[in-house]
């Protein structure tokens, strides 16, 4: 999951930079009665983060992962040594017969610094007038960790595994690359993993090389908010890219683009964070008034081990996600 947003696009902020910041973000926030999406604020997020970090230090409160990360090392990128860690995703826990997948993420301390920088008012002021279509810098804290929507996508991919053999697969906002590795394992002829950030793609390439899948998986900088056409493919996958209303609209536009192609590629979209304002299906269904209506399928994951983002260690959480899968 990785893409760019700006202060203006997120709805702005108050004097202390507390712009609206909606979604679960691994804090286990619940939907309010009558709402389909989750609302919170930056101030609330920081308050929850501080409390959970205190509870973690006293071994109370949040459910931390039981096993330590199997490998920590430094990753050389742009002349810098960056602390990274491996994450073994136990797919067999969620998908019968599936093997574990090793991904590589930024270490928690590095991710926390990126998030704090991303949330800071100064950074937002710098980005306020930036064109999203020309935003392929290094500034993204979310594509450098694995998100639960990738597991939801993997479940759907295994359900459709015979459809992947010999196909060209495109992943949008690829993040750490779980879907790309799964597509290669399922027999895809070629996988193009795209993202808007060079560091994210560098981590994905590192994992791909270690998995021995570099002969199938290529990477490319690609901004879903740009006017560039989708690369040719038979299957399009976008897992957990909906963390801003502008991004959601862009993904919706890409869905319409894919569904308008002949032949039409298969489409898989997942969303585990349910950010407020990111349900783009109503606008798509209005454009498809003469066709069947698209709808989300609700999905649940239990005890998923994920990065704490603003919390000092990993967590185990339960996730209510949504899936769009179109043949």
Backbone dihedral region of 173: left (phi > 0), alpha (psi from -120 to 50 degrees) or beta?
left
CA angle 223, 144, 123 (to 5 degrees): 70
Residue 123 pLDDT greater than 50, yes or no? no
pLDDT above 70: residue 133: no
Distance between CA atoms of residues 191 and 181, nearest Å: 9
User: Is 66 a residue whose pLDDT tops 60?
Assistant: no
Percent of the chain with pLDDT over 70: 66
Region 266-275: what's the mean pLDDT?
Answer: 92
- Whether the predicted pLDDT of 58 surpasses 60: no
Strand 217-221, strand 190-195: pairing = parallel
Q: Considering the chain, what is the average pLDDT of its residues? A: 78
- Burial class of residue 322, CB neighbours in 10 A (0-12, 13-18, 19+): buried
Distance CA 140, CA 147 (A): 14
Angle at 296 between CA 293 and CA 300, to 5 degrees: 160
| Residue 116 banded pLDDT, cuts 50, 70, 90 | low
Please check the confidence at residue 271 and state whether its pLDDT lies above 80.
yes
Mean pLDDT throughout 105-125? 60
Note the pLDDT tens digit of each residue in 17-35. 333 445 555 555 666 666 6
Q: Say what the pLDDT of residue 298 is.
A: 95
**43 or 203: whose pLDDT is higher?**
203
What are the b/e assignments for 79-106, b being 16+ CB within 10 Å?
eeebebbbbebebeebbeebeebebbbb
Classify burial at 291, counting beta carbons within 10 Å of its beta carbon; exposed 0-12, middle 13-18, buried 19 or more. Answer: exposed
């Amino acid at each position: 999951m990785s893409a760019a947003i700006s202060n203006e696009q997120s709805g702005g902020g108050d004097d202390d930079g507390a712009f609206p910041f909606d979604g679960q973000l691994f804090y286990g926030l619940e939907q309010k009665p009558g709402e389909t999406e989750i609302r919170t604020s930056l101030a609330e997020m920081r308050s929850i983060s501080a409390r959970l970090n205190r509870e973690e230090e006293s071994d109370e409160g949040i459910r931390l992962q039981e096993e330590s990360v199997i490998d920590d090392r430094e990753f050389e990128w742009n002349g810098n040594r960056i602390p990274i860690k491996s994450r073994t995703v136990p797919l067999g826990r969620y998908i019968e017969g599936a093997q574990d997948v090793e991904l590589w993420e930024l270490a928690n301390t590095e991710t926390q610094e990126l998030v704090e920088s991303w949330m800071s008012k100064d950074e937002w002021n710098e980005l306020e007038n930036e064109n999203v279509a020309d935003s392929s810098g290094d500034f993204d804290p979310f594509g450098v960790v694995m998100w639960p929507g990738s597991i939801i996508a993997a479940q759907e991919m295994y359900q459709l595994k015979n459809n992947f053999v010999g196909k060209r697969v495109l992943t949008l906002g690829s993040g750490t690359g779980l879907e790309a590795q799964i597509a290669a394992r399922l027999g895809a002829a070629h996988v193009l993993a795209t993202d808007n950030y060079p560091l994210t793609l560098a981590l994905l390439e590192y994992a791909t090389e270690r998995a021995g899948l570099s002969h199938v998986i290529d990477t490319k900088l690609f901004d879903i908010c740009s006017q560039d056409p989708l690369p040719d493919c038979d299957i399009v996958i976008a897992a957990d890219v909906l963390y801003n209303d502008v991004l959601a609209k862009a993904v919706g536009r890409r869905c319409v683009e894919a569904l308008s192609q002949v032949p039409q590629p298969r489409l898989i979209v997942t969303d585990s964070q349910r950010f407020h304002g990111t349900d783009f299906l109503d606008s798509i269904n209005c454009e498809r008034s003469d066709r069947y209506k698209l709808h989300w399928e609700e999905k649940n994951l239990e005890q998923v081990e994920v990065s704490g983002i603003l919390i000092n260690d990993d967590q185990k959480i339960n996730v209510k996600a949504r899936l769009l899968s179109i043949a």
